[in-house]
């Protein structure tokens, strides 16, 4: 595996650069088929699927982060890496994401694994790659399933394995640009769901909400049956499930991630599980592993090298 040499060492610049860097997915070479998966009676999940030329070596299910979609840059670049390595790429839009608000009654949260479980079940066996919140979902699902033939391996990139600690970090002044962006997009999605399904969710006082914690306390907890934000963070963090992961798992985590404190990865649940490997370069920001040399998207290549090695077994 090639050592990561970052384009720049500043974690904020890496995080922002990766957000705007073009993914370069060739949809003529790899045509996209959008497929709808009904995971519950009133829930359909949109998945953008692509296949390589020839017999595929396996299937890679890719899951986006908070307020992302199948069109997020890191989703496109990961799909490209999978396809060029000879694997099918299945880019999952979480519930109500990817322009699919009208297809599902309600939205998603950081630990809602039921939709991903159903998609994995129907495509199995698969490799799962999750980014940020998607990594939390992928690892939590692997822990919930334990010994399973559905998942051959899980790779989680820049994953908030302890949600409360990451919200605390997001609320710090140096991260206000990320905090404001996430909050703005969460509010926008809540309004879109309310428009698509009148009367489904109450949005009283939404304009006055000033933090992610307040949003989760007043809305996420209410919509999904948690006591409050603290209960939501505690019960839905994948850290609580890491000791039950029995499939090979790779965590790619920059030590300088501005929104995820690296010390949470010293937990016994992770360090004591031989199925889990932690790959932790000094730099990388948050989902910002842009390399100084080609291939530019280092985390994609690292994930695919790891997946390819598992596929040979």
Buried b (16+ CB within 10 A) or exposed e, 293-313: eeebbbbbbbbbebbbeebee
For 145-181, write each residue's pLDDT tens digit.
999 999 999 999 999 999 999 999 999 999 999 999 9
The whole-model pTM stands at 0.97
| Cα–Cα distance, 216 to 129 (Å, whole number) | 25
Q: Which one-letter DSSP state was computed for residue 217?
A: I
- The reported pLDDT for the residue numbered 19 is 87
Looking at every residue in the chain, the average pLDDT score rounds to 96
In degrees and rounded to multiples of 5, residue 278 shows phi and psi of -110, 120
CA angle 255, 256, 257 (to 5 degrees): 95
Contact criterion met (CB below 8 Å) for 232 and 216: yes
For residue 47, pLDDT over 90 is answered with: yes
Domains annotated for the chain, with CATH where assigned, are 11-175+238-311 (3.40.50.1820)
Contact criterion met (CB below 8 Å) for 311 and 15: no
- The reported pLDDT for the residue numbered 49 is 98
For 30-46, write each residue's pLDDT tens digit.
999 999 999 999 999 99
Element (H, E) at 30: none
Do the bridges between strand 249-252 and strand 151-157 make them parallel or antiparallel, or are there none, so unpaired? Answer: parallel
Other C-beta atoms closer than 10 Å to the C-beta of 221 total 19
CA angle 294, 80, 9 (to 5 degrees): 40
């Amino acid at each position: 595996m090639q050592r990561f040499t970052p384009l720049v060492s500043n974690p904020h610049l890496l995080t922002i650069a990766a957000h705007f860097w073009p993914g370069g997915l060739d949809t003529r070479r790899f045509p996209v088929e959008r497929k709808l998966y009904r995971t519950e009676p009133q829930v359909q999940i949109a998945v953008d699927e692509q296949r390589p030329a020839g017999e595929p070596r396996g299937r890679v299910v890719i899951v986006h982060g908070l307020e992302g979609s199948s069109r997020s840059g890191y989703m496109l670049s990961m799909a490209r890496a999978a396809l060029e390595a000879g694997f099918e790429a299945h880019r999952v839009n979480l519930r109500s994401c990817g322009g699919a608000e009208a297809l599902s009654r309600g939205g998603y949260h950081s630990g809602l694994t039921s939709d991903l479980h159903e998609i994995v079940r129907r495509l199995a066996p698969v490799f799962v790659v999750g980014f940020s919140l998607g990594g939390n979902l992928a690892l939590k699902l692997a822990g919930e399933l334990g010994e399973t033939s559905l998942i051959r391996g899980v790779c989680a990139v820049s994953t908030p394995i302890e949600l409360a600690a990451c919200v605390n970090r997001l609320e710090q002044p140096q991260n206000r640009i990320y905090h404001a962006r996430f909050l703005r997009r969460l509010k926008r999605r809540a309004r879109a769901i309310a428009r698509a399904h009148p009367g489904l969710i109450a949005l009283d006082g939404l304009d006055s909400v000033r933090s992610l914690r307040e949003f989760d306390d007043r809305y996420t907890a209410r919509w999904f049956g948690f006591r409050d934000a603290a209960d939501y963070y505690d019960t839905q963090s994948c850290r609580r499930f890491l000791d039950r992961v029995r499939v090979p798992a790779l965590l790619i985590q920059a030590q300088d991630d501005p929104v995820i404190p690296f010390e949470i990865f010293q937990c016994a649940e992770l360090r004591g599980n031989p199925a889990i490997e932690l790959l932790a370069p000094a730099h990388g920001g948050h989902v910002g592993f842009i390399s100084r040399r080609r291939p530019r998207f280092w985390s994609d290549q690292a994930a695919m090298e790891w997946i390819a090695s598992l596929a040979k077994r």
